[in-house]
Amino acid sequence: MILSFKGVSRCKTRAGKIMVIELNEKNIFTAGELVRAGKIVAFPTETVYGLGCDAFNSHALARVFEVKKRPRFDPLIIHIASLDTLERLVDFSRLSMAAEQRLSVLGRALWPGPLTLVMPKLKAVPDLATGGLDTVAIRFPAHDGALRLIKESTGAVAAPSANPFGYLSPTRAEHVLEQLGDAVDLVLDGGPTDIGMESTVLDICGDVPRILRPGGTPQNMIETLTGPLAAESPGGGGKISSPGQLTSHYAPSKDLYLHTEAEMRRLAFPEDNAAYMFFNQASFEAFAVNNNIPLGHTDRYKRFFILSPSGSLAEAAARLFDTLHTMDALSAGPIHAERPPDTGLGEAINDRLSRAAAARTHRRLAQNRDLPGGGSSGSGWLLE
Ligand code: TXA
Ligand code: MG
C-alpha cells in the first residue's frame, strides 16, 4: 500500500512500499485520523511497538488478527490515555471491592507504565478484542507519543505487539517493517523503545491477583503494593487464561539454546556456525578465556553479543529483542543464550528466553509430524 502524505518518507520493504513517518505532532494527528477511519497503525510505546486500531471497530480488529496471523482466541490489550475511558470498557459491577481497591492502588502508583490489568469487560467491548473472554486487558502506556495518538484516535486503541504471532516483538520501527511489510497502513517511527520488554499482565479479578505474563513491571514492585501474588499458572494444558502463557512464543526463527551462566562460560567454541548472546562482559570474557580466544580479537568473529556489559537487567531487557532480531538475521545460527539472574526484570527476560527455546522443540515436533511415521501430539497451533 502506498499512502501519500506531505513530508513523509517512503521505505522500501521486501513486500513493497509502506509509509514510515516520524513521530511528531503533525504525524500523530494523521495517524489518529487513520485509526478513526478504521485503519491499522504501528506506533511505539515504552515497551515495544504496537499494532493499533480502534478498539470498538470489529473490521479493524479482524484485520489486526489477520495481519499478525494471530489466533482469534488470543485477546488484545486495549490502550487508554485517560482513566475516564475505563468507564467505557470495564464492568465495575462485576469487580469486587477488593479488586477495585487494587485497581486504585496499582493505577495510582504504576500507571502510566508497563502494567496491564485484566478486569471484567462491558458487553460493548467487541468479543473479537477480548478473544471471547468476559474480561478485558487494559494498559495505560508511559509514552507521550502513544498517549497523544490514543487521544487523537478514539481514546481506546487495541494493540498487540506489532510482530507476526509467535515471533520476536519489535523494539524499532525497522522491525515492524521487516516483519509485517506493507500489511500495515502506517508506521510511526519513534526510535528504539526504552524498556524493550512487553508489559506485565496482571489479573486483578480473583481473590489474589495473578501475573499472567511477566514483563516490564517486576513482580516485587507489584507485591509491595498488593501483598503476595498468586503463583503463576502453568502454561499449556487446561484452560488458557492468557495465551501469552503459551510455552512457545517470542521466538527467533533460528534454534535457541538456553544456558545457565556456568554452562555458558564453559561452552566450547567454535560450535559449527553458532552465535552467542552473553548476559554481561564477565561471562563473555570467561568464555573467551576458556576457549583461548584473545580478547583483543573477538570482534572479528561477529558472533558474540553482550546484552549488558555491566550486568544491568534494565539494559539487558531493553536490548533483548533487538539483539535477537540482529542474531536472527545473521548467516550464523543456532543461537546460544545465557540466562540472566532470575530477579526483577530478569524474570521477564528469562520467561521470553525460555519460550524462545521452547519454540525449537515445537518446531521439531511439527517437522516430525510431517514425516511418514511421525506424528506427535504437540500443539501445532503454537507454531504460527
Ligand atoms: O507492552 C505490551 O503489552 C505491548 C504493547 C504494544 O502495549 N502489547 C502486547 O500485546 O504485548 P500482545 O497482544 O502481544 O500481548 C498481550 C497479552 C497476550 O499474552 C494476551 O493473551 C494477554 O495479553 N491478554 C490480553 N487480554 C487478556 C485477557 N482478557 N485475559 C488474559 N490475558 C489477556
Ligand atoms: Mg505479543
pLDDT for residue 354: 94
Q: Which residues surround ligand 2, an ion (CB under 5 A)?
A: 161
**Cell numbers at residue 98, please?**
477488593
Q: Which of 200, 201, 345 to probe ligand 1 with, by most ligand atoms within 8 A of CB?
A: 201
Does 75 contact ligand 1 (Cβ within 6 A)?
Answer: yes
Q: Which of 46, 72, 76 to probe ligand 1 with, by most ligand atoms within 8 A of CB?
A: 76
* Average pLDDT value for the chain: 88
Residue 162, pLDDT > 90, answer yes
Domains of the chain and any CATH numbers? 9-231 (3.90.870.10), 256-382 (3.40.50)
Closest residue CA from atom 3 of ligand 1: 199
Query: Which is more confident, 196 or 18?
Result: 196
Locate the ligand 1 atom nearest the alpha carbon of residue 47 and give its number. 1
Alpha-carbon distance 95 to 217, whole Å?
23
Amino acid identity at 317: A
Buried b (16+ CB within 10 A) or exposed e, 13-33: beeeebbbbebeeebbebbbe
Query: Which is more confident, 120 or 235?
Result: 120
Alpha-carbon distance 349 to 336, whole Å?
15
For ligand 1, the distance from its centroid to the CA atom of residue 132, given in whole angstroms, is 14
Does 74 contact ligand 1 (Cβ within 6 A)?
Answer: yes
Residue 67, pLDDT > 60, answer yes
Locate the ligand 1 atom nearest the alpha carbon of residue 137 and give its number. 26
For 122-140, write each residue's pLDDT tens digit: 999 999 999 999 999 999 9
Closest residue CA from atom 19 of ligand 1: 244
For 84-106, write each residue's pLDDT tens digit: 999 999 999 999 999 999 999 99
> What's the sign of the alpha-carbon dihedral 234, 114, 155, 250?
negative
**310 burial class (0-12, 13-18, 19+ CB within 10 angstroms)?**
exposed
For ligand 1, the distance from its centroid to the CA atom of residue 319, given in whole angstroms, is 20
Residue 241, pLDDT > 70, answer no
Does 217 contact ligand 1 (Cβ within 6 A)?
Answer: no
Buried b (16+ CB within 10 A) or exposed e, 218-256: bbebbeeebeebeeeeebeeeebbbbbbbbbbbbbebbb
Closest residue CA from atom 32 of ligand 1: 242
For ligand 1, the distance from its centroid to the CA atom of residue 140, given in whole angstroms, is 13
Locate the ligand 1 atom nearest the alpha carbon of residue 130 and give its number. 29
Least confident of 186-200, 332-346, 364-378: 364-378
Closest residue CA from atom 13 of ligand 1: 160
For ligand 2, the distance from its centroid to the CA atom of residue 263, given in whole angstroms, is 29
For ligand 1, the distance from its centroid to the CA atom of residue 200, given in whole angstroms, is 9
Beta bridge partners of 12: 17
Amino acid identity at 69: K
For 272-298, write each residue's pLDDT tens digit: 789 999 999 999 999 999 999 888 877
Residue 380, pLDDT > 80, answer no
Q: Average the pLDDT over 28-39 and give the result.
A: 97
* pTM for the predicted model, two decimal places: 0.89
Q: Which of 94, 116, 139, 384 to probe ligand 1 with, by most ligand atoms within 8 A of CB?
A: 116
For ligand 2, the distance from its centroid to the CA atom of residue 46, given in whole angstroms, is 14
Least confident of 5-14, 62-71, 250-259, 282-291: 5-14
Determine contact, residues 67/74, Cβ cutoff 8 Å.
Answer: no
Q: Average the pLDDT over 354-380 and give the result.
A: 62
